[in-house]
A = this chain, B = another copy of it.
Amino acid sequence: MALTLYWGSGSSFSWRVLLALEHKRLPYVSELLHFDKQEHQSPHMLKLNPRGRVPVLKDQDYVVFESLAVLYYLDLKYPDPPIFGLNPEEAGVIMRVICEFQAYAEPSLMNITEAVFTNQVQGRFEELSDAMHIVGREARTIEGRLSKETWIVGANYSAADMVIFPAIQLLRRALSKPQAAELGARFLPMEKNYPALARWIDRIENLPGYARTYPPHWRDAERTTPI
């Protein structure tokens, strides 16, 4: 098989690429690396990406990493169905929405999820509340888009959805932890606070192949831990 994806469970950047591969119905070898065993830092992986980060996509002898670059490469190499729009105008909006998300929402969102998963919410509550305020504002903009359209940009599921969806899922998971209850009070339940976003999540969760993209360690935790 031509394509191999090296990825990690719970890495929102990896998840973007898995969504794209499934949407394009491309066959790929799935190489799930275990962060706890430092498999992403193995000599083999450092040879592919000296930064030791995932996702890394190998297409025969060609190697590409940085999730946005992987999505971009995949779309040029395997254009059907397109994930960067049907014309330059739509492509520009998709890329703009991705850039805005990465510049204005993601840093705060990642601070929050990291703090929750490393149990630092109490000590950094004020800073995280500010971050939550920023994330809430950006989420409202996306909510606005999704209250008018099925997908974030235009009539089709696109790279904008694939970039934003994993981060929202990560945030939702973080905010549902008991230690984040106060922080997430205005965000969860999404069905009430962000109904269009909630419906959009539901829509993506029902896409063919979605189960293969879902972080395996989240599923394991859901099987064994009552939340």
Footprint of B on A, CB under 8 Å? Answer: 51, 62, 64-70, 72-73, 76-77, 87-89, 91-93, 95-96, 98-100, 103-104
Taken together as a complex, chains A and B put the C-alpha atoms of A72 and B88 apart, in Å, by 8
* Residues from chain B with Cβ under 8 Å of A89 in the complex: 62, 73, 77
Nearest Cβ on chain B to A65's Cβ, whole angstroms:
6
Q: Contact check: which of B76, B87, B98, B104 meets A88 at CB < 8 Å? A: B76
The 3 closest A-B pairs by CB, nearest first: A73-B92, A76-B88, A66-B99
* Residues from chain B with Cβ under 8 Å of A99 in the complex: 66-69
- Contact indicator A95/B77 (Cβ below 8 Å): no
- Contact indicator B100/A72 (Cβ below 8 Å): no
- Contact indicator B66/A103 (Cβ below 8 Å): yes
Nearest Cβ on chain B to A77's Cβ, whole angstroms:
4
* Residues from chain B with Cβ under 8 Å of A67 in the complex: 99
Nearest Cβ on chain B to A89's Cβ, whole angstroms:
5
* Residues from chain B with Cβ under 8 Å of A65 in the complex: 96
- Contact indicator B66/A100 (Cβ below 8 Å): yes
Count the copies: 2
* Residues from chain B with Cβ under 8 Å of A62 in the complex: 89, 92
* Residues from chain B with Cβ under 8 Å of A70 in the complex: 92
Taken together as a complex, chains A and B put the C-alpha atoms of A66 and B68 apart, in Å, by 15
The chain B residue with its CB closest to the CB of A67 is: B99
Nearest Cβ on chain B to A189's Cβ, whole angstroms:
28
* Residues from chain B with Cβ under 8 Å of A72 in the complex: 91-92, 95
Taken together as a complex, chains A and B put the C-alpha atoms of A99 and B55 apart, in Å, by 13
Kindly list 9 other residue pairs between chains A and B, CB separation below 8 angstroms, not including A62-B89, A73-B89. Answer: A64-B93, A65-B96, A66-B96, A67-B99, A68-B99, A69-B98, A72-B95, A73-B88, A77-B89
* Residues from chain B with Cβ under 8 Å of A91 in the complex: 72-73, 76
Q: Given A62-B89, A89-B62: A96 and B77 within 8 A (CB)?
A: no
Taken together as a complex, chains A and B put the C-alpha atoms of A103 and B72 apart, in Å, by 17
Taken together as a complex, chains A and B put the C-alpha atoms of A206 and B45 apart, in Å, by 40
Nearest Cβ on chain B to A159's Cβ, whole angstroms:
11
Taken together as a complex, chains A and B put the C-alpha atoms of A67 and B51 apart, in Å, by 25
- Contact indicator A64/B92 (Cβ below 8 Å): yes
